Structures are given as C-alpha cells and as structure tokens.
Chains A and B, each alone.
Chain A
Amino acid sequence: MGTTLSTPRFRWLVLSFMLLAVALVWISRDAAKRRVAQQGRQAQVEGMVHLLGTADLALSSASRWLRHPSLTEPGAPFADGPAILDADPAGAVIGPPRDLLRGMGSLITDP
C-alpha cells in the first residue's frame, strides 16, 4: 500500500480529486450567489408578473400554447391549424423555413 500511495501516478490522482473537490465547492458557492441575486430580483419579477398578469416565461413566441402554457386551454395545439408545424419539442432544433411562415402570416394579417 505504501508504495502505491507514493507513486507519481497516485499523486496525480490525488491532485485530480482535489481539483474536482475545488470545482464542486466552487459551483455550490456560485449557485448560492446566484440564489441570493435571484432573491434581490424578487420585487422586479413580481412587478413584471403583476403587469403582465402571467408568470409564463417568454421562452418561445412561436405559438400561444408555447408562450403561455399555463393559460392556454386544453387542446390548443390542435386548434392552431390542421397542418401545424411540429414545434415542440422535436421540431425545435431547426426552425421552419421563414418563407413558409411569411405566407402563413399574410393569411392571418390580410384575410
């Protein structure tokens, strides 16, 4: 055991684990700092939610059931159109062609 623990490889292993421990401590401190910052934003967030009337996050504006999932009625994705683009979640990596959407837009804005 003594010879194993004194080899350069073992020292490298100990050093690697120490680095890993430092990294884990760093992320836990960083997470704590971010949580404190989040609490500092509480008044702004509540003011914003009060103004908007919803706490839904503006993560996607592609469709109303993606933009406001908590307020949209059941079955909303199917009410958008029979040939609706597969927007969630599989179709998300690559956006649909803009020309296609532009055509849909003109239908909606100029009936």
Chain B
Amino acid sequence: MRRQLALLGFAVGSALRRTGRTLSLAAALALVTFAFASVLFFTEALRGEFRQGLAALPDLTVQRLVAGRPSLVEESDAAWIAEMPGVTAVRPRVWGYFFVPALAGNFTVVGVDFERDWEQLGGHLTVGPGRLPEPGRSEEAVMGEALARFLGLDLGNAITVPVGSTFQRLELVGVFRSDVALWSADVILANESDARVLLQIPEGAATDLGIWLSTPDEGVVVARKIADRLPGVRIVDRQLMSRTYDLTFDTRGGMMGMMLLPALVAFLVLAWDRLTGVGAGERREIGVLKAVGWRTGDLLLARLWENTILAVGGAGVGIVAAYIHVFWAGAPGLAEVLLGWSSLYPALRVTPAVDGAQLVALLCLVGAPFVAASLVPAWRAATRDPHSLLRGGS
C-alpha cells in the first residue's frame, strides 16, 4: 500500500511537472468522451421514453397492405376477432396524416370515440382549463403544444382546414400538457366523426385494429388465426414495436458512433505522439530512477497511475459535460441529426436511462485504449540502459 501511494505521489508530481501535455491530453480525452457519451445518453433516454408507454399499447395491431402500401381495414372484422378465445378487446382506430403545405410537414390526426374510451383514460392530459373533446360533440379538437404554438392558437380559437373542395372547422378546446409533449407535439385529437372527415375515411373503415389479449403469450396463435382468415394483413405485436424502436435508435446512434470513431483514432494518435516524444529531461529522470534502484515494473506502474488519473479526470469532465448538454440544454446539434429534420420539434424533456454497464463500456472504449497506448512508449524508455539514458542517448 505504501509503495503504491509513493508511486501515486510520484505519478501526480510527474503529471504536474508537464502541465501543458497533461492538460492537452485531458482536454482531448474529455472532448472524445463528451461526444460518445452525448450520443449514448440521448439514444438511451429516447428509448426509455418509448418504453414508458409500452404497457398501454395493444398486444396486436392489425394493418392491411394493398400493393405494398397501407390500406384501410374493415371495421366489421373487429366483431369476429373480439369473439376469439383470449381476446379481451378490439378497437378499430381512425388516424392518419394530414399534409399542410404551409407547415411543410404532417399533422397526425387521431380520431377517438370518446363515448367508448372515456373510462380508460388515465390522468389529466390537457393544460389548465383545457379539456378533451366532449363525446358526440363535433368540431372540437385538442392539439399538441408545439402545433398549437406553431399555428398561434389559444383556447377557444378555431381553424378551418381545407378538405378537398370543402372545409372542416375545428375549435381548440385543449392543449396537451408538456408532460406528454414527446408523444403529442404534432397531434390533432378530435372526435372520430371529425377525424373521418379530415382524413376522408368512410364509415365502416378504419386505419387499423388494436387488439388486447388476456395473455400476451397467446399473441402468436391469435395472429396466425387472423392471418388465415384475412390474407394480406400485417400484424404487429408489441414486442416487435419495441424491437423496431430499439433498432431505429441503435442504427442512428451507431451511425453517429461510427462518425465519431475517427475522432477517437485521432485522439489516440495524438496521445501516442505526445507520449512517445520523451524529452531529454524525462530520459534523464528515468535514467536517475533506474540508477537509484527503480525497476522497470515500478516505472510502468508510475506511468500507469499518471495516465489513469488523466483518463479518469478527462472522462469525468466529458461525462458531466455530456449530461448537461443532453438533459439541461436539450442536445443542441445532436438532436437535429438523430431525430431527422422536422418543422415541428417537441420540447425535449427526456429522462436519463443509461445504466452502469453502459458507462463502464464507454469508459473502456475511450479510456482503456489511451492508458494502453501510453504504456508502450513508457515500457520502451524504461527498458533502456540507465547509463545511456543519463548520457542523453536517444
């Protein structure tokens, strides 16, 4: 223990004597860690937000594809599916996209049969005096925060949306709370009849069917029976949705990681270059240490301590900076790349979801190669003859 403390003291002194080199390496390490940690924090947080809503999803979603593109399903199919063993509820859903040239983007229009679904709503979803559309009352809508702000609408204001040669009036009766902004930023929620007009979905048809089961494990059996009776349908189960999301952000995060790899390599090259350039003073120092009895192992241990301190300090600063960047500043610069271009961005209030193992993996990715790379030049210098080192031999 005393020996290790002595080596640590020597390592600290050595690092402090070469302040410029130490600071430049720590800054480069902090920068590389910051870049990787930001991507990791952000992608994991988005995945965590998606998973938070998983429990409320239907176990199966039935879509219909015609010519490889989504088509409408028959509402009447819900009746016989509901009678299948293991099925607890079937909900034909009316939703879709409404392209607005002025916005250069899509609204997501969702129609809800409030008379049917009112009981199942949890919590208060709208801000202040706002409310959800009343069952059976048309021309009322709730909008996401970002969309209402973009359109400049306050509660009680109305908009007229062109639908073919006619117009559909919608009065804003509520704005979704910022708590659910990540899910509702571009949403217009209205009674099902209004949504049908906006999306031009005829009575008797629906966008898809949501199916809830008594035991989610029965999903495969139920899905097979539905596919037998309705050839051409596409059935998505809850696990598949979750996997898709994981893969989406794995892909995007992975691509960002790949883009950052050259930065990591450049940092390691810099570290190698800085650390192999052993100056005359340093050579003499090693020579003196070896002459007074230090062994090669002692010199390597001292160098290991020195670079571990540097790696921990640099990586720690990078992680703190990445946390502030993602969770306090909203990930400027990174969010635009990872999320895709959009005219409406929700207020990004995401929750950290990184676990310890991922942080250790990150530190191993950045810190371990640096410490390893720094040991090789130290070993080369430490194995030299002390006489030649003291005489200033290169």
A residues at B contact (CB < 8 Å): 1-2, 4-5, 7, 9-10, 13, 16-17, 20, 23-24, 27, 30-31, 34-35, 37-38, 41-64, 66-67, 69-71, 73, 75, 79, 87-89, 91-96, 98, 101-102, 105-106, 108-109
A63 contacts across to B, CB distance below 8 A: 106, 340
Taking the nearest CB of chain B, how far is it from the CB of A72, in angstroms? Answer: 8
Point out the residues of chain A lying under 8 angstroms from B49, CB to CB. 57
Q: Which of B343-368 contact A (CB under 8 A)?
A: 343-346, 351-352
Nearest CB on A from B129, distance (A): 17
Contact B10 A4 (CB under 8 A): yes
Within 8 Å of chain A (Cβ to Cβ): is B56? yes
A66 to B182, CA, bound (A): 14
In the A-B complex, the 10 residue pairs with the smallest Cβ-Cβ separation, listed nearest first, are: A105-B101, A55-B53, A1-B9, A49-B53, A4-B13, A43-B123, A70-B241, A60-B340, A46-B56, A58-B185
Contacts from B to A (Cβ < 8 Å): 5-6, 9-10, 12-13, 15-16, 19, 46, 48-50, 52-58, 61, 63, 65, 68-70, 91, 93, 95, 97, 99-102, 104-108, 110, 112, 117, 120-125, 144, 146, 162, 176-177, 179-187, 189, 208, 210, 234, 236, 240-242, 244-245, 248, 252, 255-256, 313, 316-317, 319-320, 323, 327, 336-346, 351-352
Nearest chain A CB to B346 CB, angstrom units: 6
User: Are B50 and A43 neighbours in the complex by a CB distance under 8 Å?
Assistant: no
B122 touches A43 (CB 8 A): yes
Partner of A105, one of B19, B99, B180: B99
Cβ B320 vs Cβ A47 within 8 A = no
Q: Knowing that A47-B121, A55-B54 are A-B contacts, what are 5 other residue pairs whose CB atoms are under 8 Å apart, sorted by A's residue number? A: A44-B125, A52-B108, A59-B342, A67-B108, A92-B341
Chain B residues whose CB sits within 8 angstroms of the CB of A30 once the complex forms = 323, 327
Can you list 5 A-B pairs with a CB-CB distance of less than 8 A?
A: A4-B16, A23-B316, A44-B124, A45-B183, A102-B102
B337 touching A92, Cβ below 8 Å? yes
Instruction: Return chain B residues, CB-CB under 8 Å to A57.
Output: 46, 49-50, 182-183, 346
The interface residues of chain A lying within 8 Å CB-to-CB of B181 are: 58
Report the Cα distance A60→B336, complex, angstroms. Answer: 10
Q: In whole Å, how far is A39's beta carbon from the nearest beta carbon of chain B?
A: 9
C-alpha spacing A55/B187, complex, angstroms: 13
Cβ of B112: which chain A residues have Cβ within 8 Å of it? 51
Are A61 and B184 touching (Cβ within 8 A)? no
Task: Give the residue of B102, B107, B340 whose beta carbon is less than 8 angstroms from that of A89.
Answer: B340
